[in-house]
Amino acid sequence: MLRHERLSGHCGPWQGAACLTGLPSVAGPDGSSAGGPASVAFVDGNLAVLLQDLNIDPVTGANPFGDITAYRGGFSVTDAAADDLLYVDRWGHISVLAVFPAKMVLAPPQFRLPAGRKVPVQSVPTSVVVGPDGALYVSELSIIPGSARVYRVVPGKAPKVYASGFTALTDLAFDSHGRLLTLFFARESIIGPPSPGVLTRIERSGSRTVLASDGLESATGIAVSGDASTCPTTGLRSVPAKS
């Protein structure tokens, strides 16, 4: 089923009108599991839209999802299915910036495996943001609780783990003080009973401050406003900044 989507939004007291309409959205015959506009970015004043497909490319295994970020005159794109970070230049040429390895983690109780058994978990990168230092920071979904990481990527070098111990990360952002904000899709897991998401700030000391959790259902994205408030995309409510 082919539907049409539009881009619009609102956050707290601010309202937004549709700025682009008629974008394709592919869904199942009953209208479920729709894929459409997943992310937007501006480069040199031009709007770029990432359209999510439902299918994984049978040759490359690619299925970009989540974020596109303006970077070096083009875009950096997270490819959730292929576990890599891509660069798309202004002419549409694609290159690989980084590949994120799977890891072995302890199986959760839901897997009903012997105690101490480890299982492989794919990275599944979901978001990319440019840090204050010019490096790229990438979040992982990683379905097992506590197994998601944030990578720091410098093109031409191997990606390095910047922070770890997260659960089902869906988005990243930096606040006006250069501190990294992370968003969990669910506090407990995406393979168990539903639980609220978590918006966390990583302090310069390495400690972590929870900014919000209750009411963040299926949290998928955050934005930081000019007054340093943050806006998670789940009901789109504003979260005041904490010093």
Q: Residue 220: which of 149, 171, 175, 182 has the closest Cα?
A: 171
**Which amino acid makes up residue 239?**
V
What pLDDT band is residue 62 in, cutting at 50, 70 and 90?
Answer: low
DSSP 110: G
Q: For residue range 122-139, what is the model confidence (pLDDT) as tens digits?
A: 999 999 999 999 999 999
List pLDDT tens digits, range 76-86: 989 888 899 99
Distance from C-alpha of 114 to C-alpha of 103, rounded to nearest angstrom: 19
pLDDT value at residue 131: 95
- Report the alpha-carbon angle 190-105-146, nearest 5: 45
Mean pLDDT of 26-47: 61
Contact 138, 78 (CB under 8 A): yes
Beta bridge partners of 103: 121
pLDDT of residue 59: 46
SS3 53: coil
**In which residue are the tokens 């978990």 written?**
121
Per-residue model confidence (pLDDT) at position 34: 59
What percentage of the chain carries pLDDT values higher than 70? 64
Are 80 and 125 a contacting pair, CB within 8 Å?
yes
Cα 154 from Cα 135, distance rounded (Å) = 5
**Rounded to the nearest 5 degrees, what angle is found at the Cα of 196, between the Cα atoms of 194 and 199?**
145
Domain ranges of the chain: 37-232
Average confidence (pLDDT) over 188-195: 75
Q: What is the pLDDT of residues 149-159, one digit of tens each?
A: 999 999 999 99
Average pLDDT (171-183) is 91
User: What is the domain class of 37-232 according to CATH?
Assistant: mainly beta
Closest CA to 84 of 122, 121, 133: 122
Residue showing tokens 């992370």: 182
Q: Given phi > 0 = left and psi -120 to 50 = alpha, else beta, which region is 170?
A: alpha
Residue 8 clears pLDDT 80, i.e. is over it: no
Instruction: Report in angstroms the alpha-carbon separations of 92 from 88, 96, 193, 225.
Output: 6, 13, 41, 30
Average pLDDT over residues 161-180: 92
Mean pLDDT of 202-225: 83
Query: Any idea which residue has 């910047």 for tokens?
Result: 162
CA distance 36 to 47: 16
Q: What is the pTM of this model?
A: 0.77
Residue type, 126: T
Count Cα neighbours of 84 within 13 Å in the Cβ-side half-sphere: 15
